[in-house]
Copies of this chain bind each other. A is one copy, B any other.
Amino acid sequence: MDRIDIAEKFSRFSEHWRPKVVAEVNGQEFKLVKVKGDFPWHHHDDEDELFLVWRGRFRIEFRDRIVDLGPGEACVVPRGVEHRTAADEEAEIMVFEPRAVRNTGNVVDEAFTAPNGVKI
């Protein structure tokens, strides 16, 4: 029930591809993540994901097309759909998805699979 200042939360960390949980509602997490470069291809068997861009440009790449997003633009990746996320320059992204989802979905990647439930 406290005020959450998104810009201030983003200012507290700098790593890429390491989601931070800022709130939990109804078993879903509202997370912030900084991204740069290409994430591994993956899918989530049972979780839809909503991405909303805060700063920068962000791509969601599907096998047949690319959705290119800027600030204030969002996209849903439905469960089961293979995708990867990418950004040429650093971007700041808000994510809504179920608690404790593995960020790399069906893939375990030494560099990209991130710890869950890290709050900020």
Contacts and interface: CB of A to CB of B under 8 A. Distances in A.
A74 B1 contact: no
Contact of A2 (B7, B22, B47, B75): B75
A108 interface: no
Given A30-B74, A96-B30, A96-B96, A25 B49 contact: yes
Given A5-B73, A67-B3, A96 B48 contact: no
A74 B25 contact: no
Interface stretch (A33-41, A76-84, A109-117): A76-84
B23 A76 contact: yes
A118 interface: no
Nearest to A74: B4
A75 B26 contact: no
B28 A26 contact: yes
Interface of A: 1-7, 22-26, 28, 30, 47-50, 52, 54, 62, 67-69, 72-78, 81, 96-98
